[in-house]
Amino acid sequence: MKSLLKFFKLLPLKYIISYFIIGVIFSVVFVLEYFSPLIQKNLIDTAIRDKNIFNDSLFHLIYLYILYAIFVFTATLSISFLRIKVGKLFYSVFLKKIFSLKKTAIQKKGTGYYYDILSKDKESAVALISLSFFSLLFSIIQTCFILVMIWKWSRILFIIFMIVLFSSIIITSILALFNRNNYLNMRKNGTTLANETIDAISNNFSIQNFLSSSIFQNLLTKKYAFFEKYMRRYIYIATSPQIIVSIIKTVAFVFTIVYSLNLVISGEMTYGILLAIISYFQMILKPIENFHSVMNNIAESEVSIKRLLNLINPKTNQLNYQDKVIPLNSINNLTFKDVYFEYGNSKKQKHYLDFKIEDEKVGIVGISGEGKTTLLKLLYLEEVAKEGNIFLDDTILGNLPISYFQAIFNIYPQNLEIFNKDLLFNLTLGKKVIPNSTVDRYLKDYQNRLQLFFDYLEKELQNSNISNSKKFIKIQKYLEKDDFLKEILGVIDVYVESYHIYEINFDTYIKYLDFIVNNWSHFAISLIEIGFNKNFIVEEKLQKVIKDLNLEKLEGRDFGENGQNISGGEKQKVGFARFLLKNSSSFFVLDEPFTNLDALTENEMIKIAKEQLQGKKGLIISHNFTLINNLSDSIIVIHEGKIAQKGTHQDLIEEDGIYSTLYNSQKKSKK
């Protein structure tokens, strides 16, 4: 139940208010339903007594049915539109959160898992925004009034109605709780099946060429059998309450008809009351039907909501403002200080690093499995060192806002991601392309908007008449009005997503804002550049990169899923073009660049990289000694869990060490 409350806290206040307004409208439906049998009773009794069908009760009944139809239509349509709005909101919220996840997290669970969250889990959670809760609440109130009326007409029928009601509640409750675990297992196995099916489809070439497809079909069929087992059990138990309650209802209804007819025959009950009792009998079980619907809805939604909430729970320093800091000046050096970590599948291999990069390009070389990948995971904050720290100047890397770190580092990943779109999209990634002549106008506009915000922020922070929590809310409302401010101040964690409000320590947040306001002039230019480069690409630079990398021939072509319609070398060029188009970066990382290229293209790419990386600082990880030699100012050799050698290419060649051994081995293999 706690997860349900957390879920509703994600909703903006205006949606919650809309939901309850719809509920009030829907309550009228139950009022009209309650009075309907009474008006029918009066109609029949009056018609029999006065020998006149067209009495006032008939017209009252017609008006009631018209009003009933109007209110049902209004409530149903309104809740449908609200669900669409909530669905759109949650799609945006959770998609953004998935985009911000570490690559290792997505790879661990698979893209199918996260697509399942965005589709099934999101829809299942949104299904809670329904009329079911109101139906349950108002049908219970309605039933109480009906029971009072039945008590007046017949004590025996009142007892029958109560027996039916409570026996149905007990049966439905027990089976609904029992079925909750079945649904959990069904969804778990369904997600596993989806992941493995997607994986098999993605690798259908291997299935076609290296094995019988029936092997994979049998494997997936066995997975489906597990899913089907829980699905069947879920269906059986889900339908059981309806069958049992239907039997109880039928027996009780027959008894009610027989007993009531005896009362009519004996003159103790009118035909009108008989008709009203029959109508009320159908209505009195509505709480059971609604309870069953709500219990199933909660059971199904609770699993999905927990997965959604796990997705948005902060796993990083995002909401820890105690030690958060922004470097006040441009970053000059990157330091691994006494960094100790474990790597490998067993985590039994030890690694110790202590080095500093200062205004230079450093190559990292070593045999596969020496921990180079783990080194990058530490740098990307995907893993945490057992001991020691990584520093940017004097700032501990872990104290930086994650988004700020991502903005100032320019990374060329080992595994390139290619969209199933054309060249322009794969280079710009949807950013707006503008001519160089308009750049200053955009920068000036951004500067003015930031200045206005910081002027406002300074006044708010000096306001001693309101609490820090109210300051926080006012500041967030200000930022909500401007998408640029939301994005750029989200980079330094000033803007906080609404679903994290309840986890904020307002005092440390306001203290962090004091630091920002007092020092914002130091990093304002950097923020403006980050904001610009997140949204725009300069047309002239784009065309130059396309020309330099000879990418014109790829224009107008869709690249296919994962770039299957272009060659490996062309993928490398597209990835490097993206790398070159990112301006806002203090450090760069080249992780195994320019693989799968012919010698001529490789030399061409190295030449372009050498020119573009001039005067920049960063890490280059590669097994290619030609590339390491041409792009690095100095080289670090990692061997057996520690730095074995350090120096220039020429120095290391002349030393009798692991570097010269690896270099000569590669030189011979190329011959």
| Chain position carrying tokens 């439905």 | 172
pLDDT band at 370 (very low <50, low <70, confident <90, very high): low
**446 in helix, strand or coil?**
helix
The most distant pair of C-alpha atoms in the chain lies apart, rounded to whole Å, by 120
Higher-pLDDT residue of 297 and 29 is: 29
Q: What is the pLDDT of residue 635?
A: 92
- From the CB of residue 445, how many other CB atoms can be counted at a distance below 10 Å? 13
Using alpha carbons, list the distances in angstroms from residue 310 to 97, 339, 587: 11, 30, 32
What is the distance between the alpha carbons of residues 472 and 467, in angstroms, rounded to a whole number?
9
What is the distance between the alpha carbons of residues 231 and 92, in angstroms, rounded to a whole number?
30
pTM of the model: 0.71
Is residue 479 within 8 Å of 456, Cβ to Cβ?
A: no
Is residue 381 within 8 Å of 652, Cβ to Cβ?
A: no
Q: Which residues contact 526 (CB under 8 A, 6 or more apart)?
A: 330, 408, 584
pLDDT band at 346 (very low <50, low <70, confident <90, very high): very low
pLDDT band at 81 (very low <50, low <70, confident <90, very high): very high
Stretch 100-117: mean pLDDT, rounded?
74
Residue type at 196? E
What is the distance between the alpha carbons of residues 223 and 186, in angstroms, rounded to a whole number?
11
> Quick one: what percent of the chain has pLDDT higher than 90?
13
Q: What is the pLDDT of residue 631?
A: 92
Q: Which residues contact 228 (CB under 8 A, 6 or more apart)?
A: none
What is the distance between the alpha carbons of residues 45 and 592, in angstroms, rounded to a whole number?
90
Higher-pLDDT residue of 543 and 184 is: 543
**356 in helix, strand or coil?**
strand
What six digits make up the tokens of 27? 């309550």
Is residue 353 within 8 Å of 389, Cβ to Cβ?
A: no
The dihedral formed by the CA atoms of 453, 455, 460 and 463, expressed in degrees to the nearest 10: 180
Q: What is the pLDDT of residues 125-134, one digit of tens each?
A: 888 888 888 8
Q: What is the pLDDT of residue 313?
A: 66
Q: What is the pLDDT of residue 429?
A: 86
Is residue 61 within 8 Å of 36, Cβ to Cβ?
A: yes
Nearest alpha-carbon partner for 538 in 428, 379, 621, 441: 428
Is residue 132 within 8 Å of 293, Cβ to Cβ?
A: yes
111-115, 268-272, 408-412: range with lowest mean pLDDT: 111-115
If you compute the radius of gyration of the chain from its CA atoms, what whole number of angstroms results?
34
Is residue 630 within 8 Å of 356, Cβ to Cβ?
A: no
Q: What is the pLDDT of residues 506-542, one digit of tens each?
A: 888 899 899 888 888 888 888 888 888 888 999 999 9
What is the distance between the alpha carbons of residues 391 and 408, in angstroms, rounded to a whole number?
14
Q: What is the pLDDT of residue 584?
A: 62
Asked if the model's pLDDT at residue 175 lies above 50, the reply is yes
- Could you write out the DSSP letters of every residue in 84-127? HHHHHHHHHHHHHHHHTS-HHHHHHH-HHHHHHIIIIIHHHHHT
- Please, what is the average pLDDT of the chain? 83
What is the distance between the alpha carbons of residues 667 and 250, in angstroms, rounded to a whole number?
88
Is residue 662 within 8 Å of 641, Cβ to Cβ?
A: no
| Chain position carrying tokens 């101040």 | 489
Q: Tell me the torsion sign for CA atoms 26, 29, 30, 32.
A: positive
Stretch 541-556: mean pLDDT, rounded?
90
| Domains contained in the chain, CATH given | 2-312 (1.20.1560.10), 333-420+561-670 (3.40.50.300), 433-538 (no CATH)
Is residue 138 within 8 Å of 20, Cβ to Cβ?
A: no
Q: What is the pLDDT of residue 671?
A: 56
92-101, 177-186, 361-370, 463-472: range with lowest mean pLDDT: 177-186
Stretch 568-573: mean pLDDT, rounded?
86
| Partners of residue 409 on adjacent β-strands | 587
219-223, 236-240, 547-551, 615-619: range with lowest mean pLDDT: 236-240
> What's phi and psi for 642, nearest 5 deg?
-155, 170
Q: What is the pLDDT of residues 212-247, one digit of tens each?
A: 666 767 788 888 888 888 888 878 777 787 788 788
Asked if the model's pLDDT at residue 211 lies above 70, the reply is no
What is the distance between the alpha carbons of residues 627 and 620, in angstroms, rounded to a whole number?
9
Stretch 399-414: mean pLDDT, rounded?
85
Stretch 196-222: mean pLDDT, rounded?
72
What six digits make up the tokens of 597? 């290229």
> What's phi and psi for 634, nearest 5 deg?
-145, 165
The dihedral formed by the CA atoms of 319, 323, 327 and 331, expressed in degrees to the nearest 10: -100
Asked if the model's pLDDT at residue 543 lies above 90, the reply is yes
Q: What is the pLDDT of residue 437?
A: 94
Nearest alpha-carbon partner for 321 in 500, 458, 498: 500
Most confident of 12-26, 89-103, 574-588: 12-26
Stretch 15-36: mean pLDDT, rounded?
91
Q: What is the pLDDT of residue 363?
A: 92
| Chain position carrying tokens 């949807």 | 430
What is the distance between the alpha carbons of residues 488 and 483, in angstroms, rounded to a whole number?
9
Residue type at 306? K
Stretch 279-286: mean pLDDT, rounded?
81
Q: Tell me the torsion sign for CA atoms 430, 436, 438, 444.
A: positive
DSSP secondary structure code for residue 623 in this structure: S
- Could you write out the DSSP letters of every residue in 371-430? SHHHHHHHHTTSS--SEEEEEETTEEGGGS-HHHHHHHEEEE-SS----SS-HHHHHHTT
**506 in helix, strand or coil?**
helix
Q: Tell me the torsion sign for CA atoms 574, 577, 582, 588.
A: positive
Asked if the model's pLDDT at residue 318 lies above 60, the reply is no
- The interaxial angle of helices 271-284 and 286-312, nearest 10 deg, is 20
Stretch 343-354: mean pLDDT, rounded?
65
Higher-pLDDT residue of 427 and 116 is: 427
What is the distance between the alpha carbons of residues 309 and 122, in angstroms, rounded to a whole number?
11
pLDDT band at 563 (very low <50, low <70, confident <90, very high): confident
| Chain position carrying tokens 């570097």 | 659
- Could you write out the DSSP letters of every residue in 460-499? HHH-TTS-HHHHHHHHHHHHHT-HHHHHHHHTTT-S--GG
- The interaxial angle of helices 2-9 and 286-312, nearest 10 deg, is 70
> Quick one: what percent of the chain has pLDDT higher than 70?
93
